[in-house]
Each structure stands twice: as C-alpha cells, then as structure tokens.
Chain A
C-alpha cells in the first residue's frame, strides 16, 4: 500500500516539477537563469546516471566524460551529416551510449576496485584521442555548430534546451528509482556488499553489472547530446574533460548513494555553488571547491547528505521517545 502511494506522489512531484520549469521558460525573460540552470540539470542527470553503476553496485566509473563526450559528438556528427533535429540527436546519443556501455562493460567489468576505475579512465583517453584525430568532426581544433530556429512555445533555444534537460532529469530519476526498488537494485546492492557471496547465491552478477553499465551509459550520453547545441561549439578536450567524471562522482558521493535522491541533492548543492562561484570568483576556485567538498565528505560523512539527514532524524526520534 505504502509503496503505491509514494509512487503516485513521485509522479505528481515529477509533473509539478516539469510544469514549473515550463512555466519558468514562459514567464522569465532573462536568459541567464536558463544558462546556469541547464548546467545544473545536466549534472543532475550525470550524477543520477553515475550512481546506477557507481552507487548501487559500487563500481567507481571514471568514464563519465567518455559517455558525455560521445553524446556531444554523436550530436555533432548527426548535425553535420544529416542536420537531424534535437530529439533524434538525443535518441541516437542514448543508443550510442547504451552500445558503448555494453562494450565498456564487457571489457572492464571483470576487473574490480581500482582496476575498473583506471580502465574506465583509459577508455576515456583512448576515445578522446580517436575523436581528436577524426577530421570530419573538427579534430583537435573543434567545430562550430549553427543552431536551427527554435520551436514554439519557447522563445529562445537555450530555454528549449533547459526544458529538454529537465525532461531528461525526470527520465533519469524515474529509471534510477525503478532500479533501486526492483530486483535489479537488490542484486546490485548484493554485488556491492560482497560480490563473491552474491555470485554464489545465484545473483547473475556480470549480467546485472552489464545492465547497469548500459543504462547508466545511455543516460550519460543522452545528457551530453544537447551540450553541442548549448555551447554551439564542440572540441575534444572540453567534451571529454575529466572534470565531468569527477563532478558526477563527487556529486553522488556528497549526496549519498544509497537512495536516488542523494545524487540529485548532491548535484543541486554542488552545481548551484559552482555556478555561483564561477560568476563571483573564478572557475579555478570552482574546481578547488569540488576537490575540497569531495575530500571532506569522503572523510567525514561517508554516507553523504542522505546519511547525515537520516542520522539527524534518528537522533531526533531518539530524543523524542
């Protein structure tokens, strides 16, 4: 009974969120909030997608930038080759991401701990180098992209991208939430606790990890696709920047990985702080904050914000009785 009512509440919340975002694009005339908001929403998708493999199964993926960059370049390729519309770019990116996730999973998921992490960094650099040497999509110098005319009801292209990214947020959270509550999530949790024991009790560990890698990869790629249109420019070293990997990981760990709300909270907290700091101080300090918050949370609050909130809740409950 309880799970059904939370399900209804979740979807009402999601619809309210989308309605609010749509209303904002109609009411607010200033472009800037959408510029900043887009980046924050993008990080929410990346963090939620990261935590499907990294949080639930405990496989620390440093390849977020590989998937993100592939998303960007899938969009670039489609725009350049066929002039496909945005929806097609995102769908194609999700497909590419799923395939890449499958390939990466097959190659690396038998490794454990740091070897998996290092292997995912390795793949990122190899893919980046390949794209750098691919002339058609601009090579190392990058490529300019022309935005097509905007579709009503949106006034500007950035507002439309903002709303599209909001849709992706809802999609990513719904998928993460479903996984967390289904047998897939329980299986991944078992892998995180003790992979050998899980394997022995009949959990199909490799298949579950592959599934998680495919879903997480598809979402990360989809999140990257609109970035080509957002920046109107793409180049390998920024599309595949390691900062995306560390940000997604930091946001998930800061928020807490036990619940889908963790990465959302972490991404909003860190994303808003970064947007604020980038405007007021500089983008270097931005990265510094990322590093310091990551170290602080990993050392002092290993369960993340979600863990802290639960602890405070327990403490209150303990005092009340």
Chain B
C-alpha cells in the first residue's frame, strides 16, 4: 500500500493546496487575529465572492482572476459596513460582546448562504478559463495547472499583505491598533477608523481568495461550513495575527489533509482541520508564531 512516490505526490500537492488555504485565511488572520473580531462569517463572504466571480465569468466571460480583482472594491465597502455595524452594536456597548458577536456573525453567515441559494440554487458552479482542466506532468506526478495558478496567486497575495502590514504607514497603524489601542488614541489617531480600514482590507482580499476558491474546485452555497474549520485552524495554528505564520500553517494543513486523503480516503478529510485546531487550542494556544492570548 505504502509507496514513497505516493507520499511525495501528496506532499507536493499538499504544499500547493496549503498556499491556497493561507490565501483564503489571510483575511481572517487580520480580522480575527489582529482585530479580535469573531468573524465566523468570513468563509461565507469567501463563498459569496466566488459566486460574484462566477457571475462575471458566466455572463461576460471575464477571466476569473480579473473578476476577483474587479469585485475587490465592493468587498472593501462591504467590510467597512460590516465593521461599522459590529462596532456600533457590540464593541461600543461592551457587554458580552463576544457571545453576541459570534451569534451575530453566524446569523450573517446563514443569511449569505440562503441568499446565494435563492439566487443561484444549490447546484455546484464552476468557472471556465484557458488554464482550467489542463495539467502538467513531472514523471508520474500530475499537477493540475489550476492548482499552480492558485498557488502562485496565493503566494503573492500573502507576501503583498505581509509587506503592506510591515512597510506602509497604514499597515503599521493596523498592527499598532492590535497591540495597544489606548496608546494609538493617545497619539491622536482614531483606533476605530484604523480598525475599520483594516477590516475593509481583510474583506477586500476575499475578492481574490474567492476567485481562487472557484478556480481550484466547483463551489456550492454551503461550502463555507467546511471552510470555517480550515480558516480558523490556519489562523489559530499560525498564532493570531502572524502573516508568515499563516503561510506556514496553511502549508501544514494542506500537507496533512493531502496525506490523510491518499492514505485513508476522502471520508476522513473534513475532520483534519478541526482535529488540528482542537489539538493546537489544547496544547499550544498561542500558535506557531503568535502573540500570547
């Protein structure tokens, strides 16, 4: 049963998959990791973005990646709006914001799911592009081109966001607000505006991530439920708010899933992300490279 080639293949494909996982989680790494917003609706917005891409691709034959880029401004606005609502109703009132916040985002996720179902139905949807459906052979290993495209875009997206957070003025302000909100206020900046901007960026990134999601595989409205586990697993394993950690954690998850898939079959795959998440929470809650909880 066991063969070295199979394992090697699993590791290669897992690494590609892992970068993709990092790309879909990196927004959550900002919104939940840095801003402490219990954003359970993040995967629902991700699937929503995929449907946006599907719409543009299906109606106007726009390339999926370009379509992802086109819907990014809309998602930025969506992020601004959602954060404003969350801030006004939960953060400012202060009382058990966590409990109600989670319930709020679950409600939002359900609403998004159903709106997608009502608009597009429950069938799977996919996009068409020249690089989808072909694959690249190295020896016995077949790598689908769509995986390579997703890998490349995911990697650049993660690197760009990391640079943005460490090199630009606004990026540094975002990291500052995560470290000490009061200090930022004393410096004369408005922490709420900074957080709102950061949440906008975190949601805007979903435009591209959604394009990757539908490039890698067909999407269906309830797909966000599988990604709750994956995205939170990556963000917690990374260590809250660490962008480099997000990339490493994504690859670990991708390789783990792909090995389990080859060794034990697809029926065990959904539990991997959650089992890792539980393990991390129990053993090392600060994650790989994170700040202390």
Once the chains are docked, how many angstroms separate the CA of A302 from the CA of B89? 10
Shortest distance from the beta carbon of B48 to any chain A beta carbon, whole Å? 14
Could you say which residues of chain B place their CB within 8 Å of the CB of A130? 271
* Given known A107-B282, A133-B268, A295-B107, contact A284–B117 (CB-CB < 8 A): yes
* B-chain residues with CB within 8 Å of residue A285 when the two chains form the complex: 114, 118
A108 to B280, CA, bound (A): 12
How far, in Å, is A195 (CB) from chain B's closest CB? Answer: 12
Contact B104 A299 (CB under 8 A): yes
B274 and A60: CB pair below 8 A?
no
Q: Smallest CB–CB gap between A197 and chain B, Å?
A: 15
Q: Which chain A residues border B229 with CB–CB below 8 Å?
A: 121-122, 125
- With contacts A115-B285, A285-B114 taken as known, whether A298 is within 8 angstroms of B96 at the C-beta atoms is no
Taking CB atoms and an 8 Å cut-off, the chain B residues in 114-163 that contact chain A are 114-115, 117-118
Decide: B111 and A121 in contact? CB cutoff 8 A. no
> Do A129 and B107 touch (CB < 8 A)?
no
Asked if B81 CB lies within 8 Å of chain A CBs, one says: no
B-chain residues with CB within 8 Å of residue A294 when the two chains form the complex: 103-104, 106-107, 110
Interface residues of A in 122-172 (CB under 8 A from B): 122-123, 125-126, 128-130, 132-133, 140
Q: Is B192 an interface residue (CB 8 A)?
A: no
Convert A287-306 into 0s and 1s, putting 1 for each residue whose CB lies closer than 8 angstroms to a CB of B: 11011111100110010000
Residue of A nearest to B89 (CB): A299
User: With A and B bound together, what is the CA distance between A81 and B281 in angstroms?
Assistant: 37
Distance of B4 from chain A, by nearest CB (Å): 27
Q: Which of these, B110, B232, B271, B275, contacts A291 with CB under 8 Å?
A: B110
Q: Do the beta carbons of B89 and A129 come within 8 Å of each other?
A: no
Binary interface encoding of chain A residues 268-300 relative to chain B, with 1 for a CB under 8 A from any of its CBs, else 0: 000000000000000011011011111100110
The 8 A CB mask of B254-284 against A (1 = contact, 0 = none) is: 0000000000000110110011011001100
Known: A130-B271, A284-B117, A284-B118. A117 touches B104 (CB 8 A): no
Chain A interface size, under 10 / 10 to 19 / 20 to 34 / 35 or more? 35 or more
Instruction: Say if the beta carbon of B207 comes within 8 Å of chain A.
Output: no
Query: Is the C-beta of A253 less than 8 angstroms from some C-beta in chain B?
Result: yes
Q: Does A186 contact B (CB under 8 A)?
A: no
A239 within 8 A of B: no
Q: What per-residue 1/0 map shows which CB atoms of A234-260 lie under 8 Å from chain B?
A: 000000001000100110010000000
Residues of chain B at interface, number, CB under 8 A = 42
Residues of A within 8 A of B274 (CB): 121-123, 125-126
- Tell me if B267 and A246 are in contact (CB < 8 A): no
- B8 in the interface, Cβ–Cβ < 8 Å? no
The SS class assigned to the A binding surface is helix
- Minimum CB distance partner of A300 in chain B: B89
Partner of B278, one of A122, A133, A253: A122
Query: Distance in Å from the Cβ of A105 to the closest Cβ of chain B?
Result: 13
A119 located at the interface, meaning its Cβ lies under 8 Å from any Cβ of chain B in the complex: yes
Question: How far apart are B234's CB and chain A's nearest CB, in angstroms?
Answer: 12
Q: With A126-B274, A288-B110, A291-B108 in contact, is A118–B232 under 8 Å at CB?
A: yes
Say if the beta carbon of A111 comes within 8 Å of chain B.
yes
- B interface residues, Cβ below 8 angstroms from A: 32, 38, 85, 89, 93, 95-96, 98-104, 106-111, 113-115, 117-118, 225, 228-229, 232, 236, 267-268, 270-271, 274-275, 277-278, 281-282, 285, 293
A-B contact list, 15 entries, CB within 8 Å? A107-B278, A122-B277, A129-B271, A140-B267, A249-B103, A250-B107, A253-B100, A284-B114, A287-B114, A288-B110, A288-B114, A288-B115, A291-B110, A291-B111, A302-B100
With A54-B99, A107-B278 given, can you name 18 additional A-B contacts, CB distance below 8 Å?
A107-B282, A122-B274, A122-B277, A125-B229, A126-B278, A128-B270, A133-B268, A192-B96, A253-B100, A284-B118, A288-B111, A290-B110, A291-B107, A294-B106, A294-B110, A295-B108, A298-B107, A299-B104
By a beta-carbon cutoff of 8 Å, the part of chain A in contact with chain B is 54, 58, 60, 107-108, 111, 113-115, 117-119, 121-123, 125-126, 128-130, 132-133, 140, 192, 242, 246, 249-250, 253, 284-285, 287-288, 290-295, 298-299, 302
Nearest 3 pairs of A and B residues by beta carbon: A291-B110, A294-B107, A122-B274
